[in-house]
Every structure is written in structure tokens, then in C-alpha cells.
Structure 1
């Protein structure tokens, strides 16, 4: 799981290195994906990725990750076949979201603003960047945790997809102003048309009242996905405490964030960061940890929280 995370971060670093052109980033991203489409080592391709990207890394952690990319790929190839296949699948699906960002949003500023057109595109995007992670997580833990052997893997993977989509929708509504000013409108124009808005209108903080019905629709959709995530969490055996906490924390913190997004008067101001304060983060972590990820306590918290959101 840790290695899959590092490989996903490496792909994300390739896609986000904006000091090189989009076409070049797409080329490197596809070169990276090719490393998982066969069992042969391609050292020249990895060296090409490093040569093209390392000079542009200002973040030390991302630089170290790219430097150690050959070690990550070597470790991946030592895994047993089932784990390799699961990681291979993830590395084939997850970069589709990065590719969508690079192709659907060709600009990088408000002057070059582009938008998704249909709700189906938004749903597909949230699957690529987060929903597929829920599916991967499910299949991986079912393969390795004896307590999970009773799960219907296909059914729970589908619920895991909803879980991931809910978290990603939360990120989208939370970061809407920042994304708009970076040239990306994830709100489908089909929805904006319903209230007489264009993507560029959202650059004006004063358009929030007109936009609010669409915002609340996206928030309700996120909550519905997170409800499925909570069902997923409660289906985990009670003694799988670490797994339960790993699911409880993002759901409860997403709920705390959505509660603030729904009422934020300055949501469309890119200088404002709407999120749960650190004190709330500590409270959520303490409550769920000290009660041993108790389902009754967590469910009561989530139930009260979701009523405050919608």
C-alpha cells in the first residue's frame, strides 16, 4: 500500500511539474505508465523521466522520490503476482485523471479558464482520481487481511468507489476558487446553465448567491457518497481498529469541511482557505482513537454532522 502511494505521488509529480509543457508532461506520464504494462525493466525510460523532471523540482521530497524511482520500480517487481496486478491496475487507471487535467484544462490562469461540460465528466474524473483508489484499497486489504475474507469483494469495491468519490468532491468544492484562478472549473457547465451562470462568472465572489443552489447540489452528492463510505467503515470488523480509523478520519473531516463550505460567505475568494481548523482535527482523532473506533460513537458523530451539512 505504501509503495502504491509513492508510485501514485510520482505520477502526480510528473503531471504537476508546470515548468515544462503539457505535451511533454503527458509524454513522460505515459512513459511512466508503460513501466507497469509489462514485466521488463526499462531503465532508459526511467532515466529519461528523471532527466526531464529532476532539474525542475523545488520540493525536496518530490525530488527524492524521483531520484528513488528505480528503487520503487525494482521493489514493485519483487512483489507476488497478485499484488503486482493490483498495483498495475491502479497505475493504469489513476493517471487518467491526471491526463484529464492536462487535456481538458489547457490553461493555467483565470484568463484561460476551461470547464467540464456534463455531470458525467465530473463523475468520471472523481472516479479516476479517487474512486479507483477505494476499489484498489478494498481489493488489497481483502487479499491480505484474514478478517476480510468474508467480504464480497466486488460489492465492497463498488462501495469503496463511492467513498473515494465523496472525498474528491469535498476537495473540489473546498478548492473551487483556487482551481478557477488556475484555469480549472470542475463544475459542469450544464449545471451552471440552469442558474444562468458561465464559468467565468464564478471568478466574481459576488456570484456566490446565484451559484449556491449548484454548490448545495454538489455538497449533497458528496454527502451521499460519504454515507456509502460510512457503511463501508461500519462493515469493517470491530477489531480492525487501524482500518476503521483510516476510514473514519477522512469521512468525519470531510464532513466538517463540507459544513463550513456550505455556509462560507467568501467561498469564491481564492485567498480564503475553507477547511476544518486544527482543533477540530485533533478532536476527531482523539474521540475516535480513545473509543477504539467505536461504531456507536462514530455513527452518532457522523449523523449529527451530516444534519448540519444538509
Structure 2
């Protein structure tokens, strides 16, 4: 097994089985670039999320990591402090092989390498900003809706943009389509998926000292971030929470339009984009049916639902009408 096969195979699978499935179905022409970008982003996530390490040290490691991605001549990054704090075997293995992932980036074709460097620049700067906002010691909220929109772009919307640049170049470069609209829909799709995660994971984020619902919105409901730790306050929060559910749905609808813009013959690419869309919608449904402030309520979709999505899409992807009915919600 080559280093590339190991990185994009068992190492990636052990940090995200969901994305591993997506990677397997992607066309071979874009699988290495998208897989590598994902691994590098997961390394950055691991740095940012290892709360046992002080926030300032994590910010420093993120800056060093970003510099090494940007510049082949930059010093290698020492992850020993992060590694000692990790207890997830998949993440440990990922960091242990980080030098190989960066070496693979160094040998990637210049145009693709530039796209990977650009998206990692955006992601890591967003993570660094997140660490500055949330020190983990006190519960803090984002201030405005613009702050939340900016956050969802930096950590996910930019990924949709990257994905589109890479797949457009390698899968359908000569296809005549509305490029601007395609990229705009891709960005909204990424933002929507991140917003779904935020709405689903609200109790866990609050426990970690992070409130992504804007303070301006909470003030309209006469709430402070700490009030959201009490499930009984859901009815008071609901009027300002519901618009975020609606926005997430609208962003995912843009993701459905994005999927329909992909040329029909690219079955694999349409499948890879449909899976997170449909899983995101199912997750939103579960959030709607729950008390989003209740930590004990399960809001992740079940494995049976995931299998149903995989099977249902595989059966419908060849047929234009069936595919459109699957993607478009009334």
C-alpha cells in the first residue's frame, strides 16, 4: 500500500466513515485532491478542538500548520503536544502521518495545490478566529448574524467553492453553464451543512463555552447565552431559533439546485453531493421535532436512515425525473 493509498484509505476512514463513503464514490479524477484537502482540514480541526491544550498554543500550531501548507520551505510542525492530549486513535494516527499528507500536497500539480492551499488558508484562519472568540473558560456568543454567516463561510462555504473549482476543472471543464450561480450555490450548500451542525449540536457547543446563535438574536428573546443551558427555555428561544432553521433549509435548497446543475452523466459526482444534502435535511427534521436545548435528545440520523439514503439515491441517479423529485422539496 502506497502512502497515498494509506492516507486516503484507512487513515481517512478512521477519522470519518461518512466522508470516506463520499470519497469512494467520487470520480477518480478528483478523489486524490478532495481527499487530501479533507485530511489537511481534519488535521486543522484536531489542532483547534484539542481543548486539553491551551488556546494560545493551539492558535500557534494552526499558524505554523498554515505556513507549512503555504510554503514548502517552512519548518515542519511539531505536533507532539497535541498528540499527547489525544485519546482518539484515528486522530492520533492522522497527526502521526501529517508529514506524509503535507509531502503529498507538495507533489500535487500546481493548479490543484493552489486550490487546496487557498481553502486551507480560509479554514485555518476561521478556526484561529474561533479560538480567539471562544477561550473555553467562559460561555461566549457570536454577536451578529453577519458573524455567524462569516463563520459558516470560513469553515464550510469555502469548501463548496473549492469542491466546485476542482470538479469543474477535472470533470466537466467544457460544459456551458452559469459559473457564478454554480459557485454561489456551492457556497450556500456548504454554509447550510454547517448551520445544520450548529443547530443540531447546540447543547454540546454550549457545554464547551461556545454559542453560535448571535447575541443580538438572544437579546430579542430576552435571553443570555447561559439561559440556553436550561431546556425549559426552549419556548422562549423558539421565535428566534426558527428563522435559523428556515435559513438552513434555504441553503440546502441551493445545494439541491447545485446538484441539478452538475451534468447528468456525472452520476458519481451527483451522488457524492446528494448524500450530505439528504442527510442534512433528515437531521433538520429531527431538530424540528426535538427540544434543541435538551442534551439527552438524539438528533443525529440513524444508520438505517443513512442506508436508506444510499440505496435510494443509487436507484434514482440514472433517471432525471426521479432524481429531481428526490432533491426538490415542495
Check whether TM > 0.5.
Answer: yes
What is the rounded CA distance, in whole Å, between the counterparts of 2:312 and 2:79 in structure 1?
A: 44
Per the alignment, residue 148 of structure 2 pairs with 122
Per the alignment, residue 29 of structure 1 pairs with 62
| Segment drifting more, 159-168 vs 99-108 | 99-108
1:225-280 per-position Cα deviation (integer Å, ceiling 9, x unaligned): 1111110001111121111111111111111111121121x321112221222222
Local SS of the residue matching 2:300: coil
1:26-72 per-position Cα deviation (integer Å, ceiling 9, x unaligned): 000000000122232x3x432xx223222222112111111111111
Per the alignment, residue 22 of structure 2 pairs with none
1:135-165 per-position Cα deviation (integer Å, ceiling 9, x unaligned): 0000011111136643444432222100000
Say whether the 8 Å CA contact 2:182–2:261 is kept in structure 1: no
Within 5 Å, give how 1:83-94 maps onto structure 2.
83-94=112-123
Output the TM-score relative to the length of structure 2: 0.85
Q: Tell me: CA distance 1:203–1:2, structure 2 relative to 1, closer, same or farther (3 Å).
A: same
Output the aligned Cα RMSD.
Answer: 1.7
Per the alignment, residue 277 of structure 1 pairs with 302
What is the rounded CA distance, in whole Å, between the counterparts of 1:222 and 1:194 in structure 2?
A: 20
| Segment drifting more, 191-200 vs 1-10 | 191-200
What is the rounded CA distance, in whole Å, between the counterparts of 2:99 and 2:60 in structure 1?
A: 18
Per the alignment, residue 8 of structure 1 pairs with 41
Say whether the 8 Å CA contact 2:134–2:209 is kept in structure 1: yes
Say whether the 8 Å CA contact 1:288–1:294 is kept in structure 2: no
Q: Tell me: CA distance 1:299–1:213, structure 2 relative to 1, closer, same or farther (3 Å).
A: farther
Aligned length: 297
Per the alignment, residue 286 of structure 1 pairs with 311
- 2:87 corresponds to which of 34, 58, 77: 58
1:92-111 per-position Cα deviation (integer Å, ceiling 9, x unaligned): 10112211321111125xxx
What is the rounded CA distance, in whole Å, between the counterparts of 2:168 and 2:258 in structure 1?
A: 13
What is the rounded CA distance, in whole Å, between the counterparts of 1:151 and 1:31 in structure 2?
A: 39
What is the rounded CA distance, in whole Å, between the counterparts of 1:71 and 1:17 in structure 2?
A: 21
| Segment drifting more, 121-130 vs 254-263 | 254-263
What is the rounded CA distance, in whole Å, between the counterparts of 2:174 and 2:319 in structure 1?
A: 18
Per the alignment, residue 132 of structure 2 pairs with 103
- 1:158 corresponds to which of 174, 184, 205: 184
Structure 2: segments with no counterpart, 5+ residues: 1-33
Per the alignment, residue 241 of structure 1 pairs with 267
Q: Tell me: CA distance 1:200–1:94, structure 2 relative to 1, closer, same or farther (3 Å).
A: same
Moved over 4 A (4+): none
Within 5 Å, give how 1:198-217 maps onto structure 2.
198-217=224-243
1:186-213 per-position Cα deviation (integer Å, ceiling 9, x unaligned): 0001111112211111111011111111
What is the rounded CA distance, in whole Å, between the counterparts of 2:65 and 2:111 in structure 1?
A: 21
Per the alignment, residue 45 of structure 1 pairs with 76
Structure 1: segments with no counterpart, 5+ residues: none
Local SS of the residue matching 2:64: helix
Output the TM-score relative to the length of structure 1: 0.91
